[in-house]
Structure 1
Amino acid sequence: MKNLVIIPTYNEKENVEEMIRTVFSLQTPFQILIIEDGSPDGTGAIVKRLQSEFEGKLHLIEREGKLGLGTAYLTGFKWALEKGYDYIFEMDCDFSHPPEDLENLFKACNEGGADMAIGSRYIKGINVINWPLGRVLMSYFASVYVRLVTGMKIMDTTAGFKCYSRRVLETIDLDDIRLKGYGFQIEMKFTAWKHGFNLVEVPIIFTERQEGTSKMSGGIFNEALWGILKMKMRSWFKKYPGYKS
């Protein structure tokens, strides 16, 4: 199996080297693609230095400025499909997603029959560490709202720690994904679900970053709030053919 972990970065100099080394230390073989959005703190230079040490395993796409989380992943997805990867992972660089759980997501797809495995904060209670109560409640009830609007049964609809089987990304029209901020995470799950793919939640413990600065803002949730309604209405006029082998 060819496994690719896509990690978008912006000002992650405190985390990026440790994250790369941690992923490469896991028993399951993973390659990494860093999507670097012109960090002024030198994140890209750190990745370039490490590429000589991890030749053929560590890949880098540099972009000019902050172009958004969704566009970073879409760029990575298209690159991964062109290069023939079998499983493609989404992951933050700040250690809020436990790197060791990449192996659990992989097993859920490779052995457990999932088409998409979701690292879920809410499938077994609320497993979030170091978030203020207000942010926990906002995140949790955002997922409740998404379930009500979309009909999905996913507990953690905004999760950004995921494994896709190749066929999911081949089936979804990536150029038709509209939401570019954190609403992107919801739209990808919803679209895969509408196509009839098997989405499975794998419990994780989410820990707020210890190093660097959070990219979260109120505008991200506003986009998701209204964007999800528009997404649902658009779905009434779209067809979602199942995957054909």
Structure 2
Amino acid sequence: MPKTLVAIPVYNEQKYVEPVLSRVSAFANDVLVVDDGSSDETPTLLAKQPVDVIRHKTNLGYGRSIRDAFRWAQCYRYDWLITMDCDEQHEPSSLPDFYNAIEQDGADVLSGSRYLDPEVSGDPPPADRRAINTEVTRWVNERLGLQITDAFCGFKAYRVSALKSFTLDVDGYAIPLQFWVQSAAAGLRVTEVPIRLIYNDPTRSFGGPLDDPTTRLDHYREVFRDEIAKHPELVRASACSCVAG
């Protein structure tokens, strides 16, 4: 089995951190938690866990946490990095499915999908989140020539050697838009892994104005459009409507 790190961004997850890490430890030897400035009991609870921890003194954003995980995996020369959430929306029992896909050695990015297999998917998500994910997935597929079903799933595995050309600088939840563009520019092979769709907190905040679905979608469009502009080689003959407006 290639040397694999499981990285988990957390922010005020005192309710979930102990049970989730307990289950993750049954499937992973090397675990990194990126604490994004938690102000609850999360730091105290993490101190009792057999995991490595990066702690931000203030909340810097989900994207910054993912970027920190990338750097850690590269610094300590892991072969693969798996990212997952700590709010029980990503099941640790799915980790062996990622390990099996890693062993097949047919992709550089293994992206979890909550919509690939209807028998696995579970309950429907909040309507605005599903609508935004569907729209963003369409942009990614049409503009980048991919064939994915879930552009926003944070349960992913990355071949660490493939990350060396990435120049990610998005701090917030829009980082997948930048990632998909740079992934396509690097010619990475992408395969999806079906996971169960779980929403424990349909009222989760995205932060300030991004809680408004229209504002959030406009923000994602801007990040995607700006990143596409940096990679003119990716412009396809049939441009999609995502870059308009």
TM-score (norm 2): 0.83
**How big is the shift at 1:120?**
0.7
Percent identical among aligned pairs is 27
| 8 Å contact from structure 2 (residues 82, 155) kept in 1 | yes
**Residue 81 of structure 1 corresponds to which residue in structure 2?**
74
SS in 2 for 1:197: coil
Q: Which of 126, 139, 143 is residue 137 of structure 2 equivalent to?
A: 143
| TM-superposition CA deviations, 1:104-141 (whole Å, max 9, x none) | 11221222422110111222359352523333223222
**Residue 21 of structure 1 corresponds to which residue in structure 2?**
22
Whole-Å Cα distance in 1 between the matches of residues 183 and 5 of structure 2? 19
Whole-Å Cα distance in 2 between the matches of residues 30 and 130 of structure 1? 33
What letter matches 2:229 in structure 1?
M
1:224 paired with 2:220, answer yes
**How big is the shift at 1:196?**
1.6
| 8 Å contact from structure 2 (residues 37, 60) kept in 1 | no
**How big is the shift at 1:213?**
6.9
**How big is the shift at 1:47?**
0.5
| 8 Å contact from structure 1 (residues 116, 198) kept in 2 | yes
**Residue 236 of structure 1 corresponds to which residue in structure 2?**
232
Number of aligned pairs? Answer: 226
What letter matches 1:78 in structure 2?
R
Q: Which of 156, 175, 200 is residue 184 of structure 1 equivalent to?
A: 175
**How big is the shift at 1:16?**
0.6
Whole-Å Cα distance in 2 between the matches of residues 102 and 213 of structure 1? 27
**How big is the shift at 1:220?**
4.3
**Residue 68 of structure 1 corresponds to which residue in structure 2?**
61
| TM-superposition CA deviations, 1:10-47 (whole Å, max 9, x none) | 11000011111001112xx3311111122111101100
**How big is the shift at 1:237?**
6.6
| 8 Å contact from structure 2 (residues 181, 224) kept in 1 | no
Q: Which of 156, 160, 167 is residue 154 of structure 2 equivalent to?
A: 160
1:40 paired with 2:39, answer yes
**How big is the shift at 1:83?**
1.1
**How big is the shift at 1:148?**
2.6
| 8 Å contact from structure 1 (residues 115, 199) kept in 2 | yes
Q: Which segment is superposed worse, 128-137 or 97-106?
A: 128-137
**How big is the shift at 1:214?**
2.3
**Residue 242 of structure 1 corresponds to which residue in structure 2?**
none
SS in 1 for 2:93: helix
What letter matches 1:138 in structure 2?
I
Would the alpha carbon gap of residues 6 and 224 (structure 1) be closer, same or farther in structure 2, given more than 3 Å must change?
same
TM-score (norm 1): 0.83
**Unmatched runs of 5 consecutive residues or more in structure 1:** 239-245
Whole-Å Cα distance in 2 between the matches of residues 134 and 12 of structure 1? 24
| TM-superposition CA deviations, 1:136-169 (whole Å, max 9, x none) | 2232222123323333222212221100112112
**Unmatched runs of 5 consecutive residues or more in structure 2:** 235-245
| 8 Å contact from structure 1 (residues 182, 221) kept in 2 | no
Whole-Å Cα distance in 1 between the matches of residues 218 and 14 of structure 2? 29
